[in-house]
Amino acid sequence: MSPSPAKKIVVLGGCGGIGSVCVEALAGVAELAEVVVADLRRDAAQAFAAAVADRRGGGSAATFPRLSARAVDADSPQSLAATLAGADVVVNCVGPFYRFGPPILRAAIAAGVDYVDVCDDLQPTREMLALSDQARDAGVRCLLGMGNSPGLANVLVRFCADNLLASVEAVDIMHIHGGEPTEGPAVVKHRIRAMLDPVPLFIDGRMIEVMQLEESGQAQVIKTDFRGLGEYPVYPYPHPETITLPQHIPGLRRATNMGVIFPLSYFRLTQEMVRVGACGEEPIQVQGQAVVPIEFSVAHILSRRRELLDAAGVEGPAGCLKVVVSGLAHGGAAETYIFSLFSTTVGAGAGTGIPAAAGAMLMARGRVEGPGVLPPEAAVQPLELLMLALEMGKRLGRGGHESVVIERRDAAGVVTRIPLPV
């Protein structure tokens, strides 16, 4: 199928840690007509668009895709409508998604613009899935959670179900990242939310809920070896794979999502601020001043970040997504596939922004199912998405085929490395 020409893609939050990577990946795709860097900060958007154009080797108007910049206020329906006018695809990288996900999706549906996001928050995912009928009526295709986890994790499970196993019975998704040059308050608030909210896990064919920092969650903590990074404990995370995979993978009996941040001292500082009750959202009086506890806690955590990274000897970003898929082979024997997508040089920004760009390109090419609102495992062809993401990562110098390892463990426990299908 030949690519559709002259598509315009708007990246909301295009100057952020994830959105900026998405923009850079899309800027290398000549079939696009225009990529719009949309951000609350007009000056930053203009400067970033110009810098990407220069790195690409041409002025923003000299080569395709043309790079442009626009100020957008994600809190304003009028600003969103004006920004989306004339676009073919919007990529939503504005966090936190529990605040911005549903309203931006509604704006895309109202504008008739196909939608991709990197939402890894549970409640907004539920709210946005509930908008599927509205999207279908409007003829709009919506791809939720097209990042790392969710995103590539879902796609790898679908690949197993379609190609490697006769039936998939269990999926365990584990992820780690850390060492990014900076972190914003929205990232820390998202992490705090994961520690405060119930975590759904699909165990023995039924949904249960645990709390990461309570006994129910601590009982689920395990240690796992992450390729390139070593052994770390992983904690229950309220990511949406555990609610979407059971709906789209027949016969599934188990789906978990577990994660951690390195260094552990930084992750545990956040856990302690939550444990002592310092992350409430109602103001309290401190020496006559109204202070919102979570705002203090986020500022305190970020103020300690550099010190804790330096003390742990963290020199730069790294990350790994590990997806373990178990079931029955076509001959009836038990079999497990272990996927490791890893990097010792890039972290969450690239690991999320590049799959988002790949999802946006598939959307622009008409290769995403719909209309309606769908998770990755129900919307894209796994190998098509994975190969495009790896190609984009290699072009940016942020991963490639060598960053993916696939292993098969047979019923006797023998582990064999298998080649990446191409």
Domains of the chain: 7-147+349-397 (3.40.50.720), 152-347+402-418 (3.30.360.10)
- Beta-strand relationship, 206-211 and 222-226: unpaired
Residues 120, 239: Cα–Cα separation, whole Å: 5
Residues 200, 254: Cα–Cα separation, whole Å: 11
DSSP 380: S
% helix, strand, coil for the chain, step of 5: 40, 30, 30
DSSP string spanning 312-342?
TT--S-EEEEEEEEEEE-TTS-EEEEEEEEE
DSSP string spanning 200-242?
EEEETTEEEEEETTSHHHHTT-EEEEETTTEEEEEEE---THH
* pLDDT, position 61: 47
* pLDDT, position 400: 57
Residues 301, 188: Cα–Cα separation, whole Å: 8
Angle between helices 264-275 and 185-196 (to 10 degrees): 60
Residues 353, 37: Cα–Cα separation, whole Å: 14
pLDDT-derived band at 6, boundaries 50, 70, 90: confident
Q: Is the pLDDT of residue 337 over 50?
A: yes
Torsion of CA 182, 188, 349, 264, to 10 degrees: 80
pLDDT tens per residue, range 126-166: 999 999 999 999 999 999 999 999 999 999 999 999 999 99
Mean of pLDDT values over 285-310: 97
pLDDT tens per residue, range 358-417: 999 999 999 999 999 999 999 999 999 999 999 999 888 876 555 899 999 999 999 999
* pLDDT, position 422: 67
Is this prediction's pTM over 0.85? yes
> Which residue from 13, 12, 22, 10 is spatially nearest to 348, judged by alpha carbons?
22
Query: Residue 92 corresponds to which amino acid?
Result: N
List of residues 6+ apart from 156 with CB closer than 8 A: 323, 325, 339, 382, 386
Q: Where are the alpha helices (DSSP H) in 130-202?
A: 132-138, 152-159, 185-196
Residues 155, 161: Cα–Cα separation, whole Å: 10
Mean of pLDDT values over 43-47: 96
Q: Is the pLDDT of residue 348 over 90?
A: no
